[in-house]
Amino acid sequence: MDKRSCAELIQQRLALEPAGRTLRTTLYLSIRQLVLDGALPSGAPLPPTRVLADALGVGRSTLVRVYAQLRSEGYLHSRGGSATLVSETPPVSLPTADRIDHATPSAALSQRGQDITRHAASSRIQGGAFVPGVPDVSLFPFPTWRRLLAKNVRYEQRHLARYSQGGYGPLKVALAEYLRVSRMMVCAPQQILILNGSHQAIDLCARMLCDPGDRVWMEDPGYWGARNVLRASGLSLAPVPVDAEGINPPDRTDAAPRLIFVSPSSQYPTGVVMSLARRRRLLSLAEIHDAWIIEDDYDNEITQNPHPLGALFGQSPGRRVLYLGTFSKVMFPGLRLAYLVVPEQLAEPFSVGNAELYREGRMIEQAALAEFLDGGHLSAHLKRMRSVYQERREVLHTSIESRLGDLVSTTDGLAGLQLPYFFRDQTDDVALAREALEAGIVFRPLSMYYDNLQHYRAGMVLGFAAVPTEDIDIAAARLCTLVERAFSHP
Amino acid sequence: MDKRSCAELIQQRLALEPAGRTLRTTLYLSIRQLVLDGALPSGAPLPPTRVLADALGVGRSTLVRVYAQLRSEGYLHSRGGSATLVSETPPVSLPTADRIDHATPSAALSQRGQDITRHAASSRIQGGAFVPGVPDVSLFPFPTWRRLLAKNVRYEQRHLARYSQGGYGPLKVALAEYLRVSRMMVCAPQQILILNGSHQAIDLCARMLCDPGDRVWMEDPGYWGARNVLRASGLSLAPVPVDAEGINPPDRTDAAPRLIFVSPSSQYPTGVVMSLARRRRLLSLAEIHDAWIIEDDYDNEITQNPHPLGALFGQSPGRRVLYLGTFSKVMFPGLRLAYLVVPEQLAEPFSVGNAELYREGRMIEQAALAEFLDGGHLSAHLKRMRSVYQERREVLHTSIESRLGDLVSTTDGLAGLQLPYFFRDQTDDVALAREALEAGIVFRPLSMYYDNLQHYRAGMVLGFAAVPTEDIDIAAARLCTLVERAFSHP
Task: Give the tens place of pLDDT for each residue, B194-244.
Answer: 999 999 999 999 999 999 999 999 999 999 999 999 999 999 999 999 999
B234 vs B225: CA distance, rounded Å? 15
Q: Which amino acid is at B129?
A: A
A435 vs B478: CA distance, rounded Å? 73
Nearest-by-Cβ selection for A180 from B21, B121, B158: B21
B365 vs B351: CA distance, rounded Å? 19
CB interface of A with B, residues 382-441, below 8 Å: none
The strand pair at A418-423 and A408-409 is best described as antiparallel
Residue of chain B whose Cα is closest to the Cα of A92: B165
Give the model's confidence band at B97: pLDDT under 50 very low, under 70 low, under 90 confident, else very high: very low
Q: What is the structure's pLDDT at A74?
A: 66
The answer to whether the CB of A13 falls within 8 A of the CB of A33 is yes
Q: What is the structure's pLDDT at A104?
A: 37
User: How many residues belong to chain A?
Assistant: 490
CB pairs under 8 A between A and B: 335
Q: How far is A373 from chain B (nearest CA, A)?
A: 18
Can you list the pairs that B279-283 forms with residues at least 24 positions away whose Cβ atoms lie under 8 Å? B279/B246, B279/B309, B279/B312, B279/B315, B280/B315, B281/B249, B282/B247, B282/B249, B282/B312, B283/B312, B283/B315, B283/B316, B283/B317, B283/B318, B283/B320, B283/B321
pLDDT above 80: residue B108: yes
With CA atoms as reference, report the closest residue to B92 among B17, B35, B16, B28.
Answer: B35
Backbone phi, then psi, for A471, in 5-degree steps? -95, -15
Sign of CA dihedral B62, B66, B72, B78: negative
Residue A307 CB burial class (10 angstroms; 0-12, 13-18, ≥19): exposed
B222 vs B239: CA distance, rounded Å? 9
pLDDT above 60: residue B71: yes
Q: How many secondary structure helices (H) and strands (E) does chain B include? A: 17, 15
A146 vs A364: CA distance, rounded Å? 12
Q: How far is B323 from chain A (nearest CA, A)?
A: 16
With CA atoms as reference, report the closest residue to A66 among A114, A97, A28, A95.
Answer: A28
Among A432-436, B80-84, B279-283, the least confident range: B80-84
Q: What is the CA radius of gyration of chain B?
A: 30
The answer to whether the CB of A476 falls within 8 A of the CB of A401 is no
**Residue segments in chain A with a per-residue pLDDT below the cut of 70:** 1-3, 18-21, 36-37, 72-74, 80-81, 89-107, 124, 126, 306-308, 490
3-state secondary structure of A316: coil
Q: In 10 A of CB B78, how many CB atoms? A: 11
Q: What is the structure's pLDDT at B94?
A: 30
C-alpha distances out from residue A370 to A141, A373, A381, Å: 15, 5, 15
C-alpha distances out from residue A410 to A43, A221, A397, A400, A436, Å: 41, 14, 9, 10, 20
CB interface of B with A, residues 80-119, below 8 Å: 87, 89-90, 92-95, 99, 102-105, 108-113, 116-117, 119
pLDDT above 50: residue B38: yes
3-state secondary structure of A357: helix
The answer to whether the CB of A279 falls within 8 A of the CB of A312 is yes
Give the model's confidence band at B335: pLDDT under 50 very low, under 70 low, under 90 confident, else very high: very high
Helix (H) / strand (E) element for A34: namely helix A23-37
A415 vs A463: CA distance, rounded Å? 10
With CA atoms as reference, report the closest residue to A471 among A460, A479, A481, A482.
Answer: A479
3-state secondary structure of B208: helix
The strand pair at B292-296 and B321-326 is best described as parallel
Helix B469-488 with B429-438: angle, nearest 10 deg: 130
With CA atoms as reference, report the closest residue to B291 among B256, B248, B263, B267.
Answer: B256
The strand pair at B459-463 and B418-423 is best described as antiparallel
With CA atoms as reference, report the closest residue to B330 among B298, B294, B365.
Answer: B298
The residues with which A310 forms a beta bridge, in sequence order, are none
Backbone phi, then psi, for A124, in 5-degree steps? -85, -15
C-alpha distances out from residue B20 to A370, B32, B60, Å: 21, 18, 21
3-state secondary structure of B56: helix
pLDDT above 60: residue B95: no
Residue of chain A whose Cα is closest to the Cα of B344: A105
- Alpha-helical runs (H) found in B263-359: 276-289, 344-358
CB interface of B with A, residues 312-351, below 8 Å: 328, 332-336, 345-346, 348-349
3-state secondary structure of B165: coil
Q: How far is B44 from chain A (nearest CA, A)?
A: 18
B356 vs A229: CB contact, 8 Å cut-off?
Answer: yes
As a whole number, mean pLDDT of residues B468-475 equals 95
Q: Collect all residues of chain A within an 8 Å Cβ-Cβ radius of residue B25.
A: 180-181, 184, 186
pLDDT above 90: residue B127: no
Q: What is the structure's pLDDT at B309?
A: 72
Backbone phi, then psi, for A431, in 5-degree steps? -60, -40
The answer to whether the CB of B223 falls within 8 A of the CB of B263 is yes
Order of strands across the sheet that contains A418-423: A408-409, A418-423, A459-463, A444-445
C-alpha distances out from residue B206 to A167, B229, B353, Å: 26, 8, 11
A72 vs A91: CA distance, rounded Å? 18
Instruction: Kindly report, residue by residue over A5-19, the tens digit of the pLDDT.
Output: 778 888 877 877 766
Q: What is the DSSP letter of A270?
A: T
Say how far residue A366 (Cα) sits from the centre of its chain. 22
Instruction: Kindly report, residue by residue over A121-145, the tens digit of the pLDDT.
Output: 777 676 788 999 899 999 999 999 9
Nearest-by-Cβ selection for B164 from A320, A334, A357: A334
B237 vs B241: CA distance, rounded Å? 13
Q: What is the structure's pLDDT at B100?
A: 33
Nearest-by-Cβ selection for B170 from A43, A138, A208: A43
The strand pair at A215-220 and A259-262 is best described as parallel
C-alpha distances out from residue B130 to A200, A317, B419, B427, B443, Å: 32, 46, 10, 19, 5
Give the model's confidence band at B395: pLDDT under 50 very low, under 70 low, under 90 confident, else very high: very high
With CA atoms as reference, report the closest residue to B426 among B464, B394, B458.
Answer: B458
User: How many residues belong to chain B?
Assistant: 490
Residue of chain A whose Cα is closest to the Cα of B70: A309
Non-local (6+) Cβ contacts of B390 within 8 A are B304
With CA atoms as reference, report the closest residue to B425 among B487, B379, B345.
Answer: B487
The answer to whether the CB of B449 falls within 8 A of the CB of B269 is yes
Residue of chain B whose Cα is closest to the Cα of A305: B72
Nearest-by-Cβ selection for B146 from A88, A150, A287: A150
A56 vs B72: CA distance, rounded Å? 60
The answer to whether the CB of B235 falls within 8 A of the CB of B215 is yes
The residues with which A86 forms a beta bridge, in sequence order, are A76
